[in-house]
């Protein structure tokens, strides 16, 4: 069984080497000791979510609050190339968290929540802050579950106008749309830089948004013959591109 991942501050991992002993405490230490009930000799991975991590074994347990981890190996997860970002229109209910969870599991590198014109859900004030916090917590937990050392970045909410410069700077910008003339499976892919995928809301991307995106260099592409939910389209497209770019090899 793959070792469980616990998130720590980067400072704890700085300078770590095989043979060193690190203290896992705080909320993650309590989870490891009291919930997971890890015992001496069991394998664990400590990661900062920024690409740095260590594999080790539990050398001592201190009550229900902390453990000592003997470092066995130091690991670095290089920055991805090309980097895959999904612009996710706000779905209804908890489908946004489902989308973030599954996109994290497949390996997407960043998610940008988008207030599309046809979104039913609106993030405003305290409600918006709580929703964004849930997306970020979901990415963290999914990153741990999927044993990633580098977790996806969850950006602040953007409007269509704020999105245009990002699309213009991307190495490839694509809007997932059932009327796209070209399949995403055949799109020419860059070796580096950013691939940005735009996923519309339940009501679809409006003609005005499609025109604005096209002006920024983001053209419509289709995934396949079926129309996917907004909460699953980014997952399917991300998986397709991760395979095509060789990052899944």
pLDDT of residue 181: 81
Give mean pLDDT, residues 7-36: 96
Q: At what angle do helices 125-145 and 95-106 cross, to 10 degrees?
A: 30
pLDDT class for 1, splitting at 50, 70, 90? Answer: low
Q: List the beta strands (DSSP E) in 25-159.
A: 43-47, 52-62, 66-76, 83-89, 110-114, 153-154
Q: What is the pLDDT of residues 46-89, one digit of tens each?
A: 999 999 999 999 999 999 999 999 999 999 999 999 999 999 99
pLDDT at 185 over 90: yes
Residues 204, 207, 212, 213: what is their CA dihedral angle, to the nearest 10 degrees? 40
CA 173, CA 176: separation in Å to the nearest integer? 10
- List Cα–Cα distances, 39 to 8, 28, 47, 182, in angstroms: 19, 15, 19, 54
CB count within 10 Å of CB 41 equals 9
What does the block give as tokens for 163?
């999105």
pTM: 0.93
pLDDT of residue 249: 81
């Amino acid at each position: 069984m793959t070792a469980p991942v616990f998130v720590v501050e980067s400072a704890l991992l700085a300078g770590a080497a095989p043979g060193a002993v690190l203290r896992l405490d705080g909320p993650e230490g309590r989870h490891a000791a009291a919930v997971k009930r890890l015992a001496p000799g069991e394998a664990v991975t400590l990661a900062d979510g920024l690409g740095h991590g260590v594999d080790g074994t539990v050398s001592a347990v201190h009550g229900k609050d902390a453990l000592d981890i003997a470092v066995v190996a130091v690991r670095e997860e290089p920055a991805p190339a090309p980097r895959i970002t999904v612009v996710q229109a706000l779905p209804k209910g908890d489908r946004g968290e489902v989308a973030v969870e599954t996109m994290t599991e497949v390996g997407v590198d960043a998610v940008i929540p988008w207030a599309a014109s046809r979104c039913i859900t609106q993030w405003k004030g305290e409600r918006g802050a709580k929703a964004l916090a849930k997306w970020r917590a979901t990415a963290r937990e999914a990153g741990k579950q999927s044993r990633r050392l580098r977790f996806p970045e969850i950006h602040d909410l953007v409007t269509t106008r704020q999105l245009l410069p990002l699309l213009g700077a991307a190495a490839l910008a694509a809007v997932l749309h059932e009327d796209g003339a070209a399949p995403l499976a055949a799109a020419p892919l860059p070796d580096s830089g950013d691939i940005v995928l735009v996923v519309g809301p339940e009501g679809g991307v409006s003609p005005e948004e499609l025109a604005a995106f096209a002006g920024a260099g983001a053209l419509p592409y289709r995934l396949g013959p079926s129309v996917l939910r907004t909460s699953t389209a980014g997952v399917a497209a991300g998986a397709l591109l991760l395979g095509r770019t060789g990052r899944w090899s």
